[in-house]
């Protein structure tokens, strides 16, 4: 779900309240202007092209009109002040989110995918995934935002507002999901050709389910348990895959592309672009430019037996 009008967190609900207040006030102003316009048309004197212009107001100022304009100016100023107060109150409310026992995450934007690092005081408990963000329901998360190339912007409409990710700078956003569900985040800053194809599924799940997911992500990649998967691992290690990708527990330590340690457990491929199934995985490996022109991943049109062995191995990475 990607809908700012269906908030699933306390901060998004606060922003939604500001939106409703702004919409109501602007609707009242718009209706008043339309009514004033219609009233002016109704009261306007009728004439013909031959009628002489009415110059009387030049000699005798219309005090009633002046008073009306003055009151309209005062009311408009009061409305603007109300909007300013509401905006400041909303900003203060967003900053007061309790952060006790918060999950600490580092989110890094790339062209055009997301690197997600789950931090911990114990380095052995840290892990990295890609193109998916998991949050425990009811527990705050502090997300440090960085960019490796150009300006990106994180936007999870159902949970919070937008926050820029600027190269060379680090900023944070604190959010909390209060309802279980899968919410779609999006890069909201034009960051290149495939900007629109840079999505991030955000899964909010019960704390116990979230902890099981975390424990699974901390595990090393499973060792191949069949001849085909062993061949696939050898093919993976013998190609340029290892130059860009990491698979923990193996010699693959590349950092230019997404971490593939638990690739098969992710719902999508290519930053939310394709469902994660065997056919799409093969199509992506053979020709990624077909789906995301400009992506840094090169094509790997492997022969049939090698491709099937590689797919067997990648599908075992759960």
The predicted-structure confidence for 246-291, as pLDDT tens digits, reads as follows 999 888 888 899 999 999 999 999 998 899 999 999 999 999 999 9
For residue 115, list its beta bridge partners: 108, 130
Based on the structure, what is the number of domains in the chain? 2
Please give the share of the chain, as a percent, with pLDDT higher than 70: 98
Asked if 181 and 239 sit in the same domain, the reply is: no
pLDDT band at 6 (very low <50, low <70, confident <90, very high): confident
Q: Are strands 171-175 and 141-147 parallel, antiparallel or unpaired?
A: antiparallel
pLDDT, average across residues 25-42: 90
Tell me how far apart the alpha carbons of residues 93 and 5 are, in angstroms, rounded to a whole number: 18
Please give the share of the chain, as a percent, with pLDDT higher than 90: 63
pLDDT of residue 304: 86
Asked if 183 and 275 sit in the same domain, the reply is: no
Asked if 108 and 208 sit in the same domain, the reply is: yes
Asked if 231 and 142 sit in the same domain, the reply is: no
Asked if 205 and 235 sit in the same domain, the reply is: no
Task: Indicate whether 62 pLDDT > 80.
Answer: no
Chain-centroid distance, C-alpha 129: 16
> Token pair for residue 115?
């690197």
Work out the mean pLDDT of the chain and round it to a whole number.
90
Alpha-carbon radius of gyration of the chain: 28
pLDDT of residue 60: 72
Range(s) of the domain holding residue 309? 227-314
Of 214, 246, 276, the one marking the end of a domain is 214
Asked if 182 and 251 sit in the same domain, the reply is: no
Task: Indicate whether 52 pLDDT > 80.
Answer: no
Task: Indicate whether 3 pLDDT > 90.
Answer: no
pTM: predicted TM-score of the whole model, two decimal places: 0.84
In which element (H, E) is residue 205 found? strand 199-205
Of 150, 184, 214, the one marking the end of a domain is 214
pLDDT of residue 140: 94
For residue 242, being part of any structural domain is answered with yes
pLDDT digits (tens, 9 = 90+) for 214-241: 999 999 998 888 899 999 999 999 888 8
In which element (H, E) is residue 25 found? helix 10-43
Asked if 176 and 239 sit in the same domain, the reply is: no
Asked if 208 and 239 sit in the same domain, the reply is: no
For residue 98, list its beta bridge partners: none
- Which residue has better confidence, 114 or 68? 114
Residue 154 maps to which CATH number? 2.60.40.420
Asked if 172 and 255 sit in the same domain, the reply is: no
Task: Indicate whether 162 pLDDT > 70.
Answer: yes
Omega cis (within 30) before 310: no
Asked if 171 and 263 sit in the same domain, the reply is: no
pLDDT band at 1 (very low <50, low <70, confident <90, very high): low
For residue 237, being part of any structural domain is answered with yes
Of 214, 238, 272, the one marking the end of a domain is 214
pLDDT digits (tens, 9 = 90+) for 98-113: 888 899 999 999 999 9
Tell me how far apart the alpha carbons of residues 235 and 225 are, in angstroms, rounded to a whole number: 15
pLDDT band at 96 (very low <50, low <70, confident <90, very high): confident
For residue 26, being part of any structural domain is answered with no
């Amino acid at each position: 779900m990607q809908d700012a009008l269906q908030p699933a967190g306390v901060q998004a609900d606060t922003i939604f309240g500001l939106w409703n207040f702004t919409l109501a006030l602007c609707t009242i102003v718009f209706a008043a202007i339309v009514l004033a316009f219609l009233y002016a048309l109704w009261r306007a004197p009728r004439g013909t092209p031959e009628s002489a212009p009415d110059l009387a107001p030049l000699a005798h100022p219309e005090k009633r009109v002046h008073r009306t304009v003055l009151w309209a100016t005062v009311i408009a100023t009061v409305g603007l002040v109300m909007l300013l107060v509401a905006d400041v109150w909303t900003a203060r409310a967003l900053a007061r989110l309790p952060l006790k026992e918060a999950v600490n995450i580092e989110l890094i934007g790339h062209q055009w995918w997301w690197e997600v690092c789950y931090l911990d005081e114990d380095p052995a408990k840290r892990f990295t995934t890609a193109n998916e963000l998991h949050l425990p329901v009811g527990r705050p998360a502090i997300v440090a935002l960085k960019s490796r190339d150009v300006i990106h912007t994180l936007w999870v409409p159902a949970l919070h507002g937008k926050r820029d990710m600027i190269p060379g700078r680090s900023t944070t956003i604190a959010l909390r999901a209060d309802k279980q569900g899968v919410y779609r985040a999006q890069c909201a800053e034009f960051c290149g050709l495939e900007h629109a194809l840079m999505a991030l599924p955000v899964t909010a799940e019960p704390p116990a389910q979230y902890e099981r997911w975390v424990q699974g992500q901390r595990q090393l990649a499973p060792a191949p348990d069949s001849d085909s998967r062993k061949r696939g691992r050898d093919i993976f290690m013998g190609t340029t895959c290892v130059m860009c990708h990491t698979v923990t527990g193996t010699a693959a330590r590349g950092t230019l592309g997404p971490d593939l340690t638990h690739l098969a457990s992710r719902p999508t491929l290519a930053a939310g672009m394709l469902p994660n199934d065997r056919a799409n995985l093969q199509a992506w490996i053979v020709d990624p430019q077909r789906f995301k022109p400009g992506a840094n991943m090169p094509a790997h049109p492997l022969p049939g037996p090698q491709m099937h062995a590689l797919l067997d191995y990648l599908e075992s990475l759960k």
